[in-house]
Amino acid sequence: MAALQWLTPRKRSATARSVLAGEAAAEAALAAPAAHAQEPEAPAHAGPERSGGAGEADGDGAAPAFPVVGDPYAAAFFDLDNTVMQGAAIFHFGRGLYKRKFFHKRELARFAWQQAWFRLAGSEDPEHMQDARDSALSIVKGHRVEELMSIGEEIYDEYMAEKIWPGTRALAQAHLDAGQRVWLVTAAPVETATIIARRLGLTGALGTVAESVGGVYTGRLVGEPLHGPSKAEAVRALASAEGLELSRCAAYSDSANDIPMLSLVGHPYAINPDSRLRRHARAEGWRLRDYRTGRKAAKIGIPAAAGVGAVAGGTLAAVALHRRRR
């Protein structure tokens, strides 16, 4: 997989760590069992898409139906948080871990404060980000991957299943019905992302990879969190390994942070977009979909409204907050 970074051109924004994170995510996704082993839940029905310009809904022109049925070189890549699922998957997962007394309130408060600082400062200071990652990874160190997977299955049923956006779920199903592969691409831990993909009957998931040896976490990441340019690198690596043509592929996201990933494919969608992505999508002629209520949509992208969002993002530390109370 290491050689994949040389197979296709990339923008200069990619770093060695983002390439490593992307390739690790692709390798983990390809090594996971097939997602279709479990029957997915029935999605809400959505008719075939039609190619068209930007807008809240596509026009009724004579363009061919999308996705294209029977195209072996096409696939779809879906961001998870606020695109497929309402809210942050790691927040829902953190709720389940907290319920099971995996970590203390003081730990939750510390991670929430770190994330709130990132959001309110409007920038990602490298030292602060490294401190947050080190705090989370120090907790996961020494615990088994299988423990996270087992509890994750329970937590999906408790908190996540009811948070799936029916509209986005239907879009994913349209790609599956057309015979295409569908992958989640998320900064959430790959273990959590894989569970969600399997429950939805998707092909698989690309997520942040925490290093493990012998099934035990070492307390280090492979590369960096799968975020921004790293997502694009993961999609690029997977496409190379699977023989996909990115110009025929589709990508869906709610966040301007995913513009690198959306820009890779021939069919980018802005789903429940934040204000920056909405502006960018309209300028580029990308298609838009918004499955939120008007009131919820109006609040997106306002830094001062960190509130619950800051706490949700702060629980990123629950990548595996595995330290039980003694």
71, 81, 131, 258: which one is catalytic? 81
58, 60, 71, 79: which one is catalytic? 79
Contact between 73 and 244 (Cβ < 8 Å): yes
Q: How deeply is 30 buried, as exposed, middle or buried, from its count of CB atoms within 10 A (0-12, 13-18, 19+)?
A: middle
Q: How deeply is 15 buried, as exposed, middle or buried, from its count of CB atoms within 10 A (0-12, 13-18, 19+)?
A: middle
Q: Is 71 a catalytic residue?
A: no
Q: How deeply is 136 buried, as exposed, middle or buried, from its count of CB atoms within 10 A (0-12, 13-18, 19+)?
A: buried
Contact between 91 and 275 (Cβ < 8 Å): no
In this structure, the number of other CB atoms found within 10 A of the CB of residue 101 comes to 9
Q: Which helix (H) or strand (E) holds 283?
A: helix 275-284
Q: How far apart are CA 204 and CA 198, in angstroms?
A: 7
86 by DSSP, 3-state: which? coil
Q: Is 79 a catalytic residue?
A: yes
The catalytic residue positions are: 79, 81
